[in-house]
Amino acid sequence: MYAMKSSLESMDAMELDFRMRLAEVQRQYKEKQRELAKLQRRRDAEDRREEPHRSLARRGPGRPRKRTHALSALSPPRKRGKSRIRSGK
């Protein structure tokens, strides 16, 4: 029974050590997140100054830009020839 009690006491010390390390890692993580947020805000502000209209079209990561109809008006119209689909008898 004494062996069991001492293992529990050492377990508590080990748990305390892990909890202290976890708290330190969480503190470092929050600090890095704050630094990252500052850098991202600064970059976003610079982007807005460079391209004011771009912020309106910004989409999530990996999403394509919205299609603008102005670009299609500048390109020449597509030529329509015979369709590849034939009506068969």
Is-contact 65 57, C-beta < 8 A?
yes
Asked if the model's pLDDT at residue 85 lies above 70, the reply is: no
Q: Parse the chain into domains and list their residue ranges.
A: 1-49
pLDDT confidence band for 74 (50 / 70 / 90): low
Distance CA 66, CA 55 (A): 12
31 pLDDT band, cuts 50/70/90, is very high
For the whole model, what pTM was predicted? Answer: 0.40
With CA atoms as reference, report the closest residue to 58 among 48, 71, 43: 48
* Residue 62 structure tokens: 């990996």
34: pLDDT confidence band, cut at 50, 70 and 90?
Answer: very high
